[in-house]
Amino acid sequence: MATDPRPEDRFTVGLWCTAFAGREVFGSEVRPPLDPMENIRGLAAAGCWGFNFHDDDLVPFGSSASETDRILAHTRRVMADEGIAVGMATCNMFEHPVFKDGALTSNDARVRAYARQKAMRAADMGAELGAETFVMWGGREGLEVEASKDPREAIKRYREGVEFVAAYILGNELGMKVAIEPKPNEPRGDIFLPTAGHVLGFIATLEPELQRIVGVNPEIQHSRMVGIDTVHDLAQCLDAGKLFHTDLGAQKPTRFDQDLRFGAEDIKETFFVVKLLEESGWTGTRAFDVKPYRSDAPEEVWDLVRGCIRSYLILREKVAQWAADAEIQELVVALDVADPELEAMSAWSVDNARALREVTFDPDALAARRLGYQRLDQLTFELLAGVRG
Ligand code: GLT
Ligand code: MN
Ligand code: MN
């Protein structure tokens, strides 16, 4: 089984993932800080083609322009040394207290302006290091107190902010696409643009020439938090031509954002995520947004990275096996029933509508068709469980 990553697989991991030292609401750090350059070297050694970063992951918050340049130059040297690229860059608009009540959707015009300025600087950093995507995750763009924000005004402000950043990237030819990452809640009680569907609807309201470079970054874990089907989420973004990035990981449904190792939960749904990406001819990076357990020792964060990559490659092999399994394919092929005569009438026209009204159907006969889903799902399970071939 081919479980060694190849450069063309383009696996990436966020610097914030491996640097996560374990601080959360109930406890402090359990691991020492991980130096960003050591982090980049560690990701390269673990088999990553690239890494993803927030401005503040690399360049400490509040650094001067010259300090920023120095760090970026150093980063470029480490990247060349390790043969590692950057997949996506993003702006941390959630950590500093200035963003306590939102960034682009803050009620305070000064905070909104500051957020746009920080996003421009982060976009510059991304372009400098060759990122192809600029992710916008609006973690603080939400509320706990319904009375605190006019939701229509907040969405209008969100649009203004996204348009500003997209126009900056386009106007300065930074060569990146923007991918908005939805999340239903956490850290806010409710976050604006909670699902991929909301983001798709929102993108359709942007300035037409900016729409082209704005898409979605759905995260498996965030879809599972609201209990919706991740595969369908991704498929809908693909259908709209808007799957610009995707954050892969694992999550038990309806809990806080767990960011577990890819493949750690619901192997069957994860298999169908890989199947969808691979069969769609996905050319983006294969990006993991995961967190080590709080109980992990410092060196175990690399096991997390290796595990994600291995699980993806194992599931990709399973996709090929599923496609080559004669019994499964026989069931799959039988699912589609063609009817050339009826299909010829499926496009709207007055004539087709008139002809369709005259057709006689036998609904009981149609309903009597056996679908074989019990068998199909069992065979899929058995293949994944390793007991077929
Ligand atoms: C943060 C969040 C992730 C986002 C990252 C990008 S940061 O960890 O939970 O889902 O992708 O801002
Ligand atoms: Mn994410
Ligand atoms: Mn997450």
Identify which of 13, 16, 20 to mutate to test ligand 1's pocket (most ligand atoms within 8 A of the CB).
Answer: 16
Q: How confident is the model over 125-159, as pLDDT tens digits?
A: 999 999 999 999 999 999 999 999 999 999 999 99
Ligand positioned closest to the Cα atom of 95 = 1
Sequence-distant (6+) residues with CB within 8 A of 67 are: 59
Pairwise CA distance, residues 52 & 134, whole Å: 10
| pLDDT reading at 1 higher than 90 | no
* pLDDT of the residue at 210: 98
Q: pLDDT, tens digit, for every residue of 211-237?
A: 999 999 999 999 999 999 999 999 999
CATH number of 7-317: 3.20.20.150
- CB-based contact 262:307 (threshold 8 Å): yes
Assigned token pair, 116 = 């746009």
Structural domain boundaries in the chain: 7-317, 326-384
Catalytic residues: 54, 57
Residue 186: count of CB within 10 angstroms of its CB: 15
pLDDT in tens, 312-333: 999 999 999 999 999 999 999 9
Residue 96 pLDDT grade (very low, low, confident, very high; cuts 50, 70, 90): very high
Residue 2 has pLDDT above 90, yes or no: no
pTM, entire model: 0.97
Grade residue 389 by pLDDT with cuts at 50, 70 and 90: confident
Nearest ligand 1 atom, CA 52:
6
**296: its two tokens:** 């992990």
Confidence of residue 200 (pLDDT cuts 50, 70, 90): very high
Confidence of residue 183 (pLDDT cuts 50, 70, 90): very high
Residue 352 has pLDDT above 80, yes or no: yes
| Residues having CB within 6 Å of any atom of ligand 1 | 16, 54, 90, 135, 137, 181, 219, 247, 257, 289
Could you identify the atom of ligand 1 that is nearest to the CA of residue 91? 12
